[in-house]
């Protein structure tokens, strides 16, 4: 099915959205209590699945060619202690635009361009508070250096002022600039004020062509939280029901423990179904989670076939 994106925003989709804060939080508790995956005998498989869904990220001011090279090597073989048969890779690496060329070279040399995507943040990450023309140039540059996925940030002020049409037009232009690269739209949920804003920003981004909606940059004071994740899942589900298109979800920022990661998998599995738990439709953006998952996987399956 060809995705047709309208030239202007149909604002009727934003009408009458009301999200009950208490009900969202209560529903999260219910979901997690109903699926105590961390107690299940398949727990280690959930952890390995989580590894395969990571966008392995480095977004530091002191990133260099060498640490990006190490990041790519880790993405190619994140669980070196596992048996070949159950080995996996992370879904992507995620870097700043100036490091995209380094990541692309390494992954290309390893002949893994089909298996590991190169994602670049862009558009004045993390604030988005730059002129549109320079934000668009960043996308163009990252794509020309080999990025296959572009993680753009919204200008949060447009959401806070309810300038939905302007927001729509900006995302539309970002989508066009991406060409064949996938567009992930970072909402910056910790700075959007209300769940209604999160829902509406999700909807506007998807209508304008987002392939993924992503919670956070990892640089806000509040990053990926499960209640916000539930609101975004509901937006994705409603968008799918209305248009027939499946948009992906990427929680990012502050996901640091195995339990955090598995809780996100449970949420998506429950709200959107198991078909969403693939790299095409779900990612976890994280810089330090992989080491923790690897340690827990090693501990959980120590010496037991088929993992060693």
Q: Which is nearer to ligand G3H, 94 or 266 (CB)?
A: 94
Closest CB 137 distance from ligand G3H, rounded Å? 22
CB 60 within 8 A of CB 95: no
Residue with tokens 């320079």: 134
Give the nearest distance from C-beta 157 to ligand G3H in angstroms: 21
Burial annotation 2-34 (CB, 10 A radius, 16+ → b, else e): eeeeeeebeeebbeebebeeeebeebbeebbee
Cα distance between residue 252 and residue 230, in whole Å: 14
Nearer to ligand G3H, 11 or 288 (CB): 288
Residue closer to ligand G3H (CB basis): 13 or 91: 91
CB of 120 to ligand G3H, least distance (A): 11
Taking the C-alpha atoms of residue 27 and residue 50, their distance in angstroms, rounded to an integer, is 23
Q: Using CB under 6 A as the criterion, which residues of the chain lie in contact with ligand G3H when the complex forms? A: 57, 59, 94, 217-218, 252-255, 285-288
CB 131 within 8 A of CB 155: no
Q: Which is nearer to ligand G3H, 226 or 301 (CB)?
A: 226
Question: Which residues participate in catalysis according to the annotation?
Answer: 214, 250
The least CB distance from residue 248 to ligand G3H, in Å, is 14
Closest residue to ligand G3H using C-beta atoms: 218
All residues at 6 or more sequence positions from 177 whose CB lies less than 8 Å from its CB, including other chains = 136, 139, 140, 143
């Amino acid at each position: 099915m060809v995705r047709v994106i309208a030239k202007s925003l149909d604002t009727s989709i934003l009408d009458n959205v009301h999200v009950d804060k208490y009900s969202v939080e209560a529903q999260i508790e219910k979901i997690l209590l109903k699926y105590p995956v961390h107690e299940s005998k398949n727990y280690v498989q959930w952890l390995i699945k989580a590894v395969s869904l990571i966008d392995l990220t480095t977004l530091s001011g002191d990133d260099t060619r060498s640490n990006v090279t190490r990041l790519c090597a880790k993405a190619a073989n994140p669980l070196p202690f596992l048996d070949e048969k159950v080995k996996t890779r992370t879904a992507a690496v995620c870097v700043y635009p100036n490091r995209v060329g380094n990541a692309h070279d390494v992954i290309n040399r390893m002949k893994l361009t089909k298996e590991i995507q190169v994602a670049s943040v862009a558009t004045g990450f993390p604030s988005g508070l730059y002129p549109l023309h320079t934000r668009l140039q960043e996308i163009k540059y990252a794509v020309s250096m080999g990025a296959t996925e572009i993680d753009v940030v919204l200008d949060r002020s447009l959401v806070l002022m309810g300038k939905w049409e302007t927001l729509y037009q900006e995302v539309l232009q970002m989508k066009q600039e991406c060409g064949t690269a996938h567009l992930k739209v970072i909402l910056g949920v910790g700075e959007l004020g209300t769940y209604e804003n999160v829902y509406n920003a999700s909807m506007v981004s998807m209508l304008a062509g987002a392939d993924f909606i992503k919670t956070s940059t990892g640089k806000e004071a509040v990053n990926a939280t499960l209640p916000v994740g539930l609101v975004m899942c509901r937006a994705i589900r409603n968008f799918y029901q209305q248009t027939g298109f499946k948009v992906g979800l990427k929680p990012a920022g502050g996901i640091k423990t195995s339990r955090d990661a598995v809780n996100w998998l449970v949420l998506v599995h429950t709200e959107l179904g198991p078909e969403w738990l693939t790299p095409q439709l779900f990612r976890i953006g994280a810089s330090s989670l992989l080491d923790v998952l690897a340690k827990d996987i090693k501990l959980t399956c120590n010496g037991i076939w088929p993992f060693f």
